[in-house]
Chains A and B, each alone.
Chain A
Amino acid sequence: MQWFRMCDLFFWASTLSSTALVEIRDLNFTYDKRPVLQGINMTFPKGKMVAIMGLSGCGKTTLLRHIGGALKPSKGSVKIDGQVMHELDQAGLYAMRRKMGMLFQFGALFTDLSVYDNVAFQMREHTDLPEDIIHDLVMMKLHAVGLRGAQDMMPSELSGGMARRVALARTVALDPMLVMYDEPFAGLDAISLSVIGDLIRRLNDALGATSIIVTHDIQESLKIVDYVYFMAGGVIVAEGTPDELRACDTDFVRQFVHGEMDGPMPFHYPSGDYRQELNLRD
């Protein structure tokens, strides 16, 4: 068992050093004098799917916004494909973002455009492709997510799962090298959740892209990702492959993986004495 774990770690370490697409080094971010991220070091190898997990408010989405270049770090850096994100000017940032895709928590589809036009949006904005080629590409993307028949529908007519699949088709419209997913499983029923999880994995493998999934849905994520970082309070508290984390016996990972009430992560937000609040006498 130990031997397998060592092999696994050795394999991951060799993958990281040779072909890292995204490297985060000593990333710190302070908002309104409150430290949100502290000393984050992460590596995302090319072609792999990596999950960033943690409870709500632990800094996952803030980290994703740093990777996308939407926020500048207080200290440290995010390097993508050899370029430091916060040193890029707007033209450089936009050039980098053309190679990225991001799936937002609730899809963020453009509500005034049809499903077809949503998927075609980036193709029309960034390429000079003729409309018949765009049509074929959109059909291929919609077919990949099983929604070719919904091309004329408006976002308001779609269910939550369908909207997420359309958003997924739009995210990979220009075959990005890096795809980021912000809570892709939030608010989905069991079947949609499984469909989306499977789609994300298949699309990642088909595109040869690198995927970063920010989520708190541990069971679904552990099925599809190659590596996991656990965050709490703005720092990394655990990391490893899914098998390692299932076998891990640290308090935090056990509480998170098994959804236990008792553990290092408190249920209550810091507050005063409860009995005093209710004016109860001893």
Chain B
Amino acid sequence: MAAMKTVRAIGHRVVDAVWRMGSATRFFALVLLYSASSFRRFRLVIKELFSSGVMSLIIILVAGLFVGMVLGLQGYETLKRYGSESALGSLVALSLVRELGPVLAALLFASRAGSAMTAEIGLMKATEQISAMEMMAVNPIARIVAPRFWAGVISMPLLAAMFSAVGVFGGYLVGVVQIGVDEGSFWAQMQAAVDFREDILNGVLKSFVFGTVVTVIALFEGYDAQPTAEGVSGATTRTVVNSSLAILMLDFVLTAIMFRGN
């Protein structure tokens, strides 16, 4: 009997998860369908670019600097064992551009901007602002959701690029300025190792995918939240957890596709 209950409970959760996936996909399709108005009134997207992109800049830059500095230290310690300290520049740059920049920037974006998007839309729903908009014959997906979606998609690759750039600078500070690795070989090795299409464009593509996924999850959770304090709080938590898991899983898939055999 207890086993049946457990099986039933698992079944319910699976069915519920499939329903939510279906709803999220339909929601994503509607966002794309109603995106034209966002481009016609691009000032709405710019306003959201400020709140999700510009306001995330500090956390991205500070985190990028420290990640780069840690990479500089750890990288130097490892490379020293093989007498390859001069390769520090390429190690720092490749780690950041291929992996750490897109992934960490997306995780930080999900925590900072994604949770804010969910909470804002969830609270708009709880305070009947979305219903009011519907009653005014204004489509909330076109007016509220689509501009936020495009702001997320546009800002994510830019934030990831800034994360990587500042990270490289952090690696330079520790490796060259503090430890004393030769500056010429640091930059020359980096220039020789980093390929524009293979590394930089693939990194940008990754962050574009992460930005799309994180923003859709955040907006869907907010729009689908129960209109109560508990509902909004739960939705915000789900945004951070689901986005983080999606980023890490997608990173593996994308890495396997992009860099296999290189």
A110 at the A/B interface (Cβ < 8 Å)? yes
* A121 in complex: contacting residue of B127, B128, B136, CB < 8 Å: B136
User: B129-144: contact bitstring with A at CB < 8 Å (1 yes, 0 no)?
Assistant: 1011111111100010
Q: Which of B121-160 contact A (CB under 8 A)?
A: 123-124, 127-129, 131-139, 143
Is A97 a contact of B127 with CB atoms below 8 Å? no
Residue of B nearest to A182 (CB): B128
A100 at the A/B interface (Cβ < 8 Å)? yes
Q: How far is the CB of A95 from chain B (nearest CB, A)?
A: 7
Known: A108-B129, A111-B129. A68 touches B136 (CB 8 A): no
**A-B interface, 10 closest residue pairs, ranked by CB to CB distance from nearest:** A108-B132, A94-B137, A97-B137, A108-B128, A102-B135, A104-B128, A98-B137, A125-B138, A122-B136, A108-B129
* B129 in complex: contacting residue of A94, A102, A110, CB < 8 Å: A110
Q: A106: which B residues are within 8 A, CB to CB? A: 127-128
Residue of A nearest to B138 (CB): A125
Q: A68: which B residues are within 8 A, CB to CB? A: 135
A153 at the A/B interface (Cβ < 8 Å)? no
Q: How far is the CB of A101 from chain B (nearest CB, A)?
A: 8
Is A104 a contact of B132 with CB atoms below 8 Å? yes
Is A95 a contact of B137 with CB atoms below 8 Å? yes
Q: How far is the CB of A267 from chain B (nearest CB, A)?
A: 26
Q: Which of A111-129 contact B (CB under 8 A)?
A: 111, 121-122, 125-126
Q: A104: which B residues are within 8 A, CB to CB? A: 128, 131-132
Residue of A nearest to B143 (CB): A125
* Distance, CA A102 to CA B137, complexed state (A): 11
Is A70 a contact of B129 with CB atoms below 8 Å? no
* Distance, CA A104 to CA B133, complexed state (A): 11
Is B135 a contact of A100 with CB atoms below 8 Å? yes
User: A53-72: contact bitstring with B at CB < 8 Å (1 yes, 0 no)?
Assistant: 00000000000000010100
* Distance, CA A103 to CA B50, complexed state (A): 31
Q: Which of A214-236 contact B (CB under 8 A)?
A: none
Other A-B pairs, 18, CB within 8 Å; known A68-B135, A95-B137, A104-B131:
A70-B135, A94-B139, A97-B134, A97-B135, A101-B135, A104-B128, A105-B128, A108-B131, A109-B129, A110-B124, A110-B129, A110-B132, A111-B124, A121-B136, A122-B136, A122-B138, A125-B137, A126-B137
* Distance, CA A121 to CA B137, complexed state (A): 11
* Distance, CA A126 to CA B133, complexed state (A): 12
Q: B138: which A residues are within 8 A, CB to CB? A: 121-122, 125-126
Residue of B nearest to A65 (CB): B131
* Distance, CA A122 to CA B127, complexed state (A): 19
Q: B128: which A residues are within 8 A, CB to CB? A: 104-106, 108
Q: A125: which B residues are within 8 A, CB to CB? A: 136-138, 143
Q: How far is the CB of B12 from chain A (nearest CB, A)?
A: 17
* Distance, CA A104 to CA B126, complexed state (A): 12
Q: A111: which B residues are within 8 A, CB to CB? A: 123-124, 127, 129
* Distance, CA A110 to CA B44, complexed state (A): 15
* Distance, CA A93 to CA B138, complexed state (A): 11
Residue of A nearest to B136 (CB): A122
Q: How far is the CB of A87 from chain B (nearest CB, A)?
A: 17
Q: B136: which A residues are within 8 A, CB to CB? A: 97, 121-122, 125
Residue of B nearest to A113 (CB): B129
Q: How far is the CB of B51 from chain A (nearest CB, A)?
A: 9
* Distance, CA A121 to CA B138, complexed state (A): 10
* A70 in complex: contacting residue of B123, B124, B134, CB < 8 Å: B134
Q: How far is the CB of B85 from chain A (nearest CB, A)?
A: 52
Q: B132: which A residues are within 8 A, CB to CB? A: 102, 104, 108, 110
Q: How far is the CB of A61 from chain B (nearest CB, A)?
A: 11
